[in-house]
Amino acid sequence: MADKQLNYKQYLKLDKILSSQRLLSERNKNHSHDEMLFIIIHQTYELWFKQIIYELDSIINYFSSSLIDEKHISLSVSRLERIIEIQKIIVDQIRVLETMTPMDFLDFREYLHPASGFQSYQFRQIENKLGLNKKDRYQIDNIEYKDFINKDEQINVIKTEEQNSLFQLIENWLERTPFLDWGDTTFWIEYEKAVDRMLNEDIESIKKNSSLTNDIVNKRLEEINRTKETFGIILDESKHQNMVKRKLWSLSHNATKAALLIFLYRDQPILNNPYRFLSKIMEVDDLLTNWRYKHLIMVSKMIGKKMGTGGSSGADYLNESINKHKIFSDFASLTTFLIPRSSLPPLPEKLTNKLNFNFNSY
């Protein structure tokens, strides 16, 4: 029986894992010491990508339901936190890779053609599952990103294009937020009044300040007018829809209103987990951008302006993807429309009771 007991090596399949680092430089009888590091770093990336997909799939499963249990929001926050910690490790791995010099890389780079990180089908799945729209992708020479991926792996990538992304599911979830209707009024009506009140008070304060010169007064009044115009982008639904048409905004108007409600009233117990969830999803997006940026810096150091091994434009592609491949930037932009707690419209008592999990005990 002792011979049949599972051991560490068997459980982790270490025979397969530790025998999968095969140096092309050795096969070509030109051993390059740093190729081992290069392989292990990228194999580790793929293992972490697998774990991220595993966590994302569980969150997508929760948000695919028409009725989302409050405990699933908490679980989703926990799993996003795990993804975030993995992303931090992924970013830090670049520092390890940077211990390899450009000359060290040149010792084996020629053997890599046409293989490239651009062909990582798991990373493309992550982007699609999060919500990167196919039309928003930066293309190389108008070639579909899928065309760089092996045919047998394209099937799974195409599936992630066809399924609801996390962005779409979050948008649907926000649109179902029940706290926008306040009975005799709505959150949106009261928010617009609060914004007008706040800006009018600022105008009065500037006009009454005798220490300001006419030039400064006019400049500050111009700033407030610009602020009014900025608020109008979301307050006016037609302006908001125009922003969506011009691809300057992605969230629907109702989802935008709900997200803003969550941001403004995050201190209410029932809105705290949704706020944490939206904050974590923004952090995931930021860390993806950070990884792309760090990767860009490293690639620029390693190959300069050379073309990537997979035929991409190397550093130029990475630079363009940093700007184009943000997914949840609308949530970050909502900070533009926050107002001080002192200016917030007071919540109706019935709504406050709901937001505080109030119940009657007998």
Q: What's the pTM value of the predicted model, to 2 decimals?
A: 0.90
Range of the domain at 187: 31-355
For the segment 198-220, the average pLDDT, to the nearest whole number, is 93
Residue 7 included in any domain: no
Given this model, what pLDDT does residue 356 score?
83
Domain annotation covers residue 6: no
**Residue 13 covered by a domain:** no
Domain membership flag for residue 134: yes
Mean pLDDT of 192-221: 93
For residue 252, the SS3 value is coil
Rounded to the nearest 10 degrees, what angle do helices 166-175 and 253-264 cross at? 80
Give 140's strand partners: 143
- Beta-carbon neighbour count of residue 8 at 10 Å? 7
pLDDT digits (tens, 9 = 90+) for 98-153: 999 999 999 999 999 888 888 899 999 999 999 998 888 877 777 788 888 888 88
Q: How many CA atoms lie within 13 A of 266 on its CB side?
A: 15
Q: What's residue 53's pLDDT?
A: 98
Lowest mean pLDDT among 25-29, 148-152, 183-187, 284-288: 148-152
**Could you tell me if residue 12 is inside a domain?**
no
**Residue 181 bridge partners (DSSP):** 186
Any domain includes 175 = yes
| Tokens linked to 154 | 């394209």
pLDDT score of 312 more than 70: no
* Residue 293 belongs to a domain: yes
pLDDT the model gives residue 102:
92
User: According to the model, what pLDDT value does residue 320 have?
Assistant: 72
Q: For the residues 265-278, what does the mean pLDDT come to?
A: 96
Domain-located, residue 303: yes
Q: pLDDT band at residue 341, thresholds of 50, 70 and 90?
A: very high
CATH number where 115 lies: 1.20.58.480
Domains of the chain: total: 1
Distance CA 324, CA 137 (A): 7
Phi and psi torsions of 143, nearest 5°: -95, 135
Predicted confidence at residue 144, as pLDDT, reads: 82
- Tens digit of pLDDT for each residue in 48-69? 999 999 999 999 999 999 889 8
pLDDT in tens, 292-309: 899 888 888 888 766 555
